[in-house]
Amino acid sequence: MNKEMVEKIKNNPDYQELVSKRSSFSIKLTILMLIVYFAFILTIAFDPSFLGTPLSGDSVTTVGIPVGIAIIFFAFVLTGIYTKRANSEFDELNNKIKESVREEI
């Protein structure tokens, strides 16, 4: 990639939009995942009895079971949310950028 092309793409509003939107989306989702996971791990480290509380008076199933399974689902759902938006919105922007420099490639 030569300097001219770098400058051209850098100044392309679609490129700027793609980078800013995707970066902020990725960072938000990453932080969300880390918060959920570390909240879980630190709960175990500082207050393990919380996850061991029974769901109801006569049940042996504890709070920890639905919470644990929910984190697994949450991780998968997050990848789904990202993939869906990237497949449509981000890829559309990206195609526009590629189109704009097609002749030079």
Partner 1 sequence: MISRIFLLLILGAVSLLAAAAIEGEAMQRELNLSAIVMFVIFVGATLVITYWAAKRTKSAKDFYTAGGGITGFQNGMAIAGDYMSAASFLGISGLVYLNGYDGLIYSIGFLVGWPIILFMIAEPLRNLGKYTFADVASYRLRQTPIRILAASGSIATVVLYLIAQMVGSGKLIQLLFGLEYEVAVIIVGILMMLYVTFGGMLATTWVQIIKAFLLLSGATFMAVAVMAHYSFDFGQLFAHATELKGVEIMSPGGLISDPVSAISLAVALIFGVAGLPHILMRFFTVSDAKEARKSVFYATGFIGYFYILTFIIGFGAIVMIFKNPEYLDVAKQAIDGGYPIFGGNNMAAIHLSHAVGGDFFLGFISAVAFATILAVVSGLTLAGASAISHDLYASVIKKGKVDSITEMKVSKAATVVLGVVAIIMGILFEQQNIAFVVGLAFAIAASANFPILFLSMYWRGLTTRGAVIGGGLGLATAVILVILGPIVWVDILENETAIFPYKYPALFSIIVAFIATYIFSVTDNSEGAKDEAEAFEAQYIRAQTGIGAEGATEH
Asked if residue 81 lies in contact with residue 29, where contact means CB atoms within 8 angstroms, the answer is yes
Dihedrals phi, psi of 54, to nearest 5 degrees: -65, 150
Half-sphere exposure of 3 (CA within 13 A, CB side): 0
**C-beta separation of 97 from 18 below 8 A:** yes
Shortest Cβ 33–partner 1 spacing (Å) = 5
Task: Report the nearest approach of partner 1 to the CB of residue 104 (Å).
Answer: 10
**Least distance in angstroms from the C-beta of 1 to partner 1:** 4
Residues that bind partner 1 (CB under 8 A): 1, 6, 9-10, 15, 18-19, 22, 26-27, 29-30, 33-34, 37-38, 40-42, 44-46, 48-49, 51-52, 54, 59-62, 64-65, 68-69, 71-73, 75-76, 78-80, 82-83, 86-87, 91, 94, 97-98, 101, 105
* CA dihedral for 43, 49, 51, 55, sign (positive or negative): negative
